[in-house]
Amino acid sequence: MPTTPTFPQIITAQPNWVCWRLEPDKKSSRAVKVPYNPNTGYKASISDKVTWGTLESALEAKEIHTASCRHSERNGAEEAIL
């Protein structure tokens, strides 16, 4: 299992983590961050907690899929990229 980075416990204790990949946006042709569920590998929703995972599951998915991981808050203000 990967080593857990040092984040405040209030963030790491919450199962509000998703992975993301840069993918081309069909409308603008620019790269956008698309969230992925660390448990399933399918696309995640920033507003659906069912598609989020723990920090540990996001770190494991990052190792497996070489994805970047992010802490997901409903308001989008809090972000931690690994």
- Residue 39 counted as domain residue: yes
Q: Is the pTM of this model over 0.85?
A: no
- Residue 1 counted as domain residue: no
Count CB neighbours of 61 within 10 A: 23
- Residue 2 counted as domain residue: no
Q: Which pLDDT band holds residue 4 (cuts at 50, 70, 90)? A: low
The fraction of the chain above a pLDDT of 70, given in percent, is 72
- Residue 33 counted as domain residue: yes
Q: Please indicate whether residue 63 or residue 69 has the higher confidence score (pLDDT).
A: 63
- Residue 30 counted as domain residue: yes
- Is residue 80 over pLDDT 70? no
- Residue 55 counted as domain residue: yes
Give me the number of domains the chain comprises.
1
Q: Which two tokens stand for residue 78?
A: 């809090």
- Residue 80 counted as domain residue: no
- Domain of residue 23: give its range: 12-71
- Residue 3 counted as domain residue: no
Q: How many helices (H) and strands (E) does the chain have?
A: 2, 3
